[in-house]
Structures are given as C-alpha cells and as structure tokens.
Chain A
Amino acid sequence: MGDEMTAEERALAELDARLVRALEARPAVEIPAGFAARVAGQLPERRSVSLTPTYYGRNVMVACMVVLGVALLGLALDRTGGTTLGVALEWFVCAQFVALAMWLGVWRRGLR
C-alpha cells in the first residue's frame, strides 16, 4: 500500500514537473518582419507642449497687492480712520496685504 502511494505521488510529481516545463516554454511566435518600424510609423502625432511658463497667477496677485496698498493708503489718509469700523477695515486690508506678500515670497523661493 505504502509503495503504491509512493508510486502515485511520484507520478503526480512527474506530472507537475512536466506541467511546469510546458508552462515555462514560451510558445513559438512569428513576429512579422519590420513590426517595430510599422508600429513606429503608425504613431499618432504628438502635439508639442509649450514649455514657456505663464505667470497669470503671480500677475493677478501683484495687481491685488497694488489695489490693497492703495486701499491701505486711502484708509490711512481718511479722517474716519479713527472709528472702530475704520480700524477694523484697515487691519483686515493690512492682513490681506501681508498674506499676499508672504505668498509671493514663498512662490519666488519655489522658483529657485
């Protein structure tokens, strides 16, 4: 019985080995001559990508800073600047101006 099992196991192992050998063998393929050239010839045209950077965001930010600067100047010259509303507005515009200045500083460092 023991020998019989061993023989069966041996047959299974042999079958496994044959199976793996058959799977490992790559099927013979016929690649048409000039296949690579044919594929390369059929490649679609690739649109050239412009590598010139645009600075729309930065320009808008600079324009905003100018506007905020003018607003700050206007608020400083305004006589009503002493009121609570005037001071709050002044601080609000000033905070925006500082935030934009910091953003531009970080952006410039990122460019280097």
Chain B
Amino acid sequence: MSTDLSFEQIVRDHQTMVFSTLVRLTGSREHVDDLAQEVFLRLYRALPGFRGEALLSTYLYRITVNVAQNEWKRQRRDVRSTVSISDEVSGWEDRLEHPGPNAEEQMEECEFKQGVEEQLQQLSQVERTVLVLYHQEERTYEQIAEVLGMPIGTVRTHLHRGRKKMRDGLMARQATVEQATATQAAERRAVWATR
C-alpha cells in the first residue's frame, strides 16, 4: 500500500514532464494519457532493477523516448494504411488569448509556433528527441547522451543539424506564405482595378 502511495507521488512529480515530452515527441495529443500511463507502468516494472546509478528522471526520459518511438512506429503503420486526418489547424484560434490591438502579432506568433511544431515533426526521430530534451526539458549533453545511449559528440551533431533543418524549413515556409500573400494582394488589386 505504501509502495503504491509513494509511486503515486513519483507519478505526480513527473507527470507534467512526461505529458509535455510525449506531446512534443509524438506531435499528437491523441492517446497521450494512455502513452503516459504506459511510461509509468514500465517505470514501475523496471523499478526493482533500478540501482540508482542514474537519476530517476534520466531513467524516466529513457522510457518516455522508448514509448514515443513505439508510437512513431504505430503512427507510421497507420499512415500507410489510412489517409492522414491531421488536425494541424484545429484549436489555434483558442490559443489567441485576448483578441485586441495586438491580435495580429499574436496570430503571427501562433502561426510561427505551429510552423515550429510542423518542422519538428519533419525531423528524424533522433533529431527531434535531442531537440526536445535539450530545449524543452533543459537536459545537458551528458544527460541526453546517457538517455539515448550515444556519444556526446553525436548528440551535438544531431542538435545542430536538427536546428539547421528547422531554420531552413521555417524560412521556406515563411517564403511560401509571403508569396501567397503577395499573390492574394495582386489578385485583390486586379479585382479592384476592374471595378
């Protein structure tokens, strides 16, 4: 009973980290609580073998990354068999906190964040994991290397390559948006000129 209670405390202490990491890594909020539950159940099963050489959080990150990897594999299987019904635009209006004079800026920021999430999902699994652990979870190179079982130099390489790919992707996206806006404006001007 006391084991369950102390484990409940462990869950409470780490649930925000597990949820947010899973959301970022899988790029989906669907099934995230099932995945988080699986993470903690795996942790519980693994605890008797936990000898305390690593921090519990490092151990938990490793399990979270493994669960996310399984989810990627599952998603890839689903994508092959069905048409994607991504909800990439849904809900962004709700995230605009206060419509007001700076609503345009907020919308632009929201679109930028959406672009970041999209670009994040374009990266390879390992690049995405390194970026999320480094930036969002503020892990050190050493900790990431331990979680992923790779040398620190490789972690650095993945981090820089991932950031570069994201930057290039965002610039390309921005250029496309600007081009579309310019085309729309030109069309609008043409319509006005004909009136």
Residues on A lying within 8 angstroms of B by beta carbon are 12, 15-16, 18-20, 22-29, 31-32, 35-44, 46
The distance from the CB of A53 to the nearest CB of chain B, in whole angstroms, is 18
Given known contacts A26-B20, A31-B15, A31-B16, A40 and B167 CB-to-CB distance under 8 angstroms: no
Indicate with 1 or 0, residue by residue over B7-33, a CB within 8 angstroms of chain A CB atoms. Answer: 111011001100110011000010011
Checking A26, A39, A40 against B5 with a beta-carbon cut-off of 8 angstroms, the contacting residue is: A40
Inside 8 A of B95's CB, which chain A residues have their CB? 28
Q: CB distance B41 to A39 under 8 Å? A: yes
Within 8 A of A (CB), among B94-136: 95, 112-113, 116-117, 120, 131-132, 135-136
29 contacts between A and B (CB under 8 A): A15-B167, A16-B163, A16-B167, A23-B116, A23-B120, A23-B131, A23-B132, A24-B135, A24-B136, A25-B113, A26-B136, A27-B117, A28-B95, A29-B16, A29-B23, A29-B32, A31-B15, A31-B16, A31-B33, A32-B33, A35-B15, A36-B8, A39-B37, A39-B41, A40-B7, A40-B8, A40-B11, A44-B44, A44-B45
Task: Count B interface residues, CB 8 Å.
Answer: 40
Chain B 140-175 residues near chain A, CB threshold 8 A = 163, 166-167, 170-171
Known contacts: A16-B167, A36-B8, A43-B7. The answer to whether A22 contacts B32 by CB under 8 A is: no
Residues from chain A with a CB closer than 8 A to the CB of B16 are 26, 29, 31
Partner of B3, one of A28, A41, A46: A46
Given the complex, which residues of B lie within 8 Å of A19, measured CB to CB?
Answer: 116, 163, 166-167, 170
Q: What are the residues of chain B within 8 A of A31 when measuring CB–CB?
A: 15-16, 19, 33
Q: Which 5 A-B pairs have the closest CB atoms?
A: A23-B135, A36-B11, A40-B8, A29-B19, A22-B116
| Distance from A31 Cβ to chain B, minimum over Cβ atoms (Å) | 6
* In-complex Cβ contact of B44 among A20, A26, A43 (8 A): A43
Measured between beta carbons, the chain A residues less than 8 angstroms from B131 are 23
Asked if residues B20 and A35 are in contact (CB atoms below 8 Å), the reply is no
On B, residues with C-beta under 8 Å from A are 3-5, 7-9, 11-12, 15-16, 19-20, 23-24, 29, 32-33, 36-37, 40-41, 44-45, 48, 95, 112-113, 116-117, 120, 131-132, 135-136, 138, 163, 166-167, 170-171
For B20, what are the chain A residues with a Cβ–Cβ distance below 8 Å? 26-27, 29
Chain A residues within an 8 Å CB radius of B48: 46
Residue of B with least CB distance to A23: B135
Residues in B neighbouring A16, C-beta threshold 8 A: 163, 167
Task: State how many angstroms separate the Cβ of A17 from the closest Cβ of chain B.
Answer: 11
* B170 contact from A15, A37, A39, Cβ within 8 A: A15
Are the C-beta atoms of B135 and A20 separated by less than 8 Å?
yes
**Contact between A22 and B112, CB atoms less than 8 A apart:** yes
Tell whether, in the assembled complex, residue B8 and residue A39 are in contact, meaning their CB atoms are under 8 Å apart: yes
Whether B11 pairs with A35 at a CB distance below 8 angstroms is yes
Residues of B within 8 Å of A39, CB to CB, are 7-8, 11, 37, 40-41
